[in-house]
Structure 1
Amino acid sequence: MLGSSKRHVFKPTAYGSTRSRRRIPRWLVLMFTGVVLGSGGLLFLQKSYGPIRLTVEQSEQLHYDLNSVNMDKQRLQSQLNQQTRDLTETRANLQAQAVELRKAKEEAAKLTSDLQLFVDAMPPDPRGTSPGIRAASFEAKDGQLDYLILVMQDQGKTDTFTGQAELNVAGRYANGKSGHIDLPAFKVELQRYTHLGGSLPLPEGFTPRQVTIKIMREGSEKTVATRTIRVPR
């Protein structure tokens, strides 16, 4: 019995194996499941609601459009700056013109006041008519008769007068003969006073010596004012 070499074979008991099998921990399974679900949800969200991934062509087109927008922005900004400068310059010019206009009005008012003094100081028409021919001057030059006539109405008689003036010129022709010519009539209109100025053609070779001015009321041939003025040689 002491020398027996047989090994005793282990037999499981009636209650099964005495060593239990190893199982994956429940917490590890739950963690792995959570990782899988989380990764899948993230991919779903990125695909459904995340930014769209662009292709190479779309990316190049986007860069091109962005550069075009930047160029347009720079161009519009440049135009805006130029228009701002133009507006500033225009405002400055308008302010300068307003100052000049104010000065011109002040000077015109002063000149009007000064002119009124001269008007009041002008000697009356020798014939005492109103309107009357207060002053006149004539000059023969280059076949033309230049004239400047001051016609005035008396103070307080400033109803608008409308009529016409005629010039009868006495002179000498180139052959030595004397003669009279009537130049074309021209319109006269005034309240207190007016200057009549201009040029009228003379016959060829005719040298004027004196001019008789006649003023008639519109629609009438009656002379209301007349005066004779010598023409300087």
Structure 2
Amino acid sequence: MFGRSKPVVLESYGHRRKRGRPPRWLVLLLSGVAVGVAGVLVVQERYLPPRLSASESSKLRTAYDTTEAERKRLQEALGEAERKLATTTTQNKALQDELAGSRTRIERLNQDLATTVEALPPDPRGGTVEVRAGKFTVRGGSLVYDVVLARDRAGNKPTTGVLQLQVVGSSAKSPQATVALKPVPLSFTSHEVVSGSQPLPEGFKAREATVQVLDRPAGRALGMRVMLVK
């Protein structure tokens, strides 16, 4: 009865825990971590895009850099094209203004020419088309001519035909020779100044020119006049 007494151990939770078993809270924590990792893996495998390897990531980066460089190049090209378009628009506006000014000057010159033609002496021969004036010179073996034509009763419908020049002169073979030059097409309403040059035979010396206005080559005469070659 009076032997050695044993120490009494008090349990704070009211029961004894088996030795070697982990705490319940640690088990729950580890279980939650495992479930979370498994969920992440399942989501990645089923719903997210597949993960790229190192080589695939490198290729993707290279493709991105190439695309970005091309985008910048195209952006610069677009800016250059916009600048050129602005410059072209400005130039076109200047050309349009210049064209409008040229048309205005041409209209004024036509009016001045019509006034000058009206002031010229009438064709003594008359005719449907009057040969009001003409200038003929020989230069470099060619006959250079300026002929002023006018219609007596000008209408809206233009007169069409040809201008036929016959040059009288002398050559080494004959002291009196006539050369018919190539017909010149005509189409005018009220007046027309026909200018040009045509070659003469070699050694031909022109003295006078007969101006004929025909409705067609070798056709009906609409007007005629003989003038000196100076």
Q: TM-score, normalised by structure 1?
A: 0.78
Answer yes or no: is the 8 Å Cα contact 2:122–2:130 preserved in 1.
yes
Deviations 1:127-170 (A, max 9, x none): 22221101111111222111221111024455432223322222
- Listed as ranges, the matches of 1:206-225 within 5 Å are 206-218=204-216, 221-225=219-223
Distance change >3 Å, CA 103–CA 189, structure 1 → 2: closer
Aligned partner of 2:132 in structure 1 is 134
Distance change >3 Å, CA 201–CA 109, structure 1 → 2: closer
- Unpaired runs of 5+ residues, structure 1, are 11-16
Number of corresponding residues: 218
Aligned partner of 2:123 in structure 1 is 125
- Listed as ranges, the matches of 1:87-126 within 5 Å are 87-126=85-124
Distance 2:32 2:113 in 1: 102
Q: TM-score, normalised by structure 2?
A: 0.79
In structure 2, what residue type is equivalent to 1:139? T
Is the counterpart of residue 72 in structure 1 residue 66 in structure 2? no
SS of the residue corresponding to residue 39 of structure 1 reads: helix
Aligned partner of 1:55 in structure 2 is 53
- Unpaired runs of 5+ residues, structure 2, are none
Distance change >3 Å, CA 220–CA 63, structure 1 → 2: closer
Distance change >3 Å, CA 127–CA 18, structure 1 → 2: closer
Aligned partner of 2:33 in structure 1 is 39
- Equivalent of 1:169 in 162, 167, 170: 167
In structure 2, what residue type is equivalent to 1:79? A
Distance change >3 Å, CA 194–CA 18, structure 1 → 2: closer
SS of the residue corresponding to residue 177 of structure 1 reads: coil
Distance change >3 Å, CA 122–CA 34, structure 1 → 2: farther
In structure 1, what residue type is equivalent to 2:16? R
Of residues 217-226 and 77-86 in structure 1, the stretch that sits farther from structure 2 once superposed is 217-226
* Cα RMSD (Å): 3.0
Distance 1:154 1:81 in 2: 62
TM-superposed CA distance for 1:84, in Å, is 1.7
In structure 2, what residue type is equivalent to 1:205? G
TM-superposed CA distance for 1:88, in Å, is 1.7
Question: What percent identity do the matched residue pairs reach?
Answer: 25
SS of the residue corresponding to residue 124 of structure 2 reads: coil
Answer yes or no: is the 8 Å Cα contact 2:114–2:191 preserved in 1.
no
Distance 1:53 1:72 in 2: 27
TM-superposed CA distance for 1:18, in Å, is 9.4
Please tell me whether Structure 1 or Structure 2 has the larger radius of gyration of its CA atoms. Answer: 1
Distance change >3 Å, CA 117–CA 45, structure 1 → 2: farther
SS of the residue corresponding to residue 184 of structure 1 reads: coil
Distance 2:26 2:114 in 1: 112
In structure 2, what residue type is equivalent to 1:179? A
Deviations 1:165-205 (A, max 9, x none): 32222212246723223223333332211222222221211
TM-superposed CA distance for 1:55, in Å, is 2.7
Distance 1:220 1:18 in 2: 149
Answer yes or no: is the 8 Å Cα contact 2:169–2:176 preserved in 1.
yes
Distance change >3 Å, CA 117–CA 207, structure 1 → 2: same
Of residues 86-95 and 219-228 in structure 1, the stretch that sits farther from structure 2 once superposed is 219-228
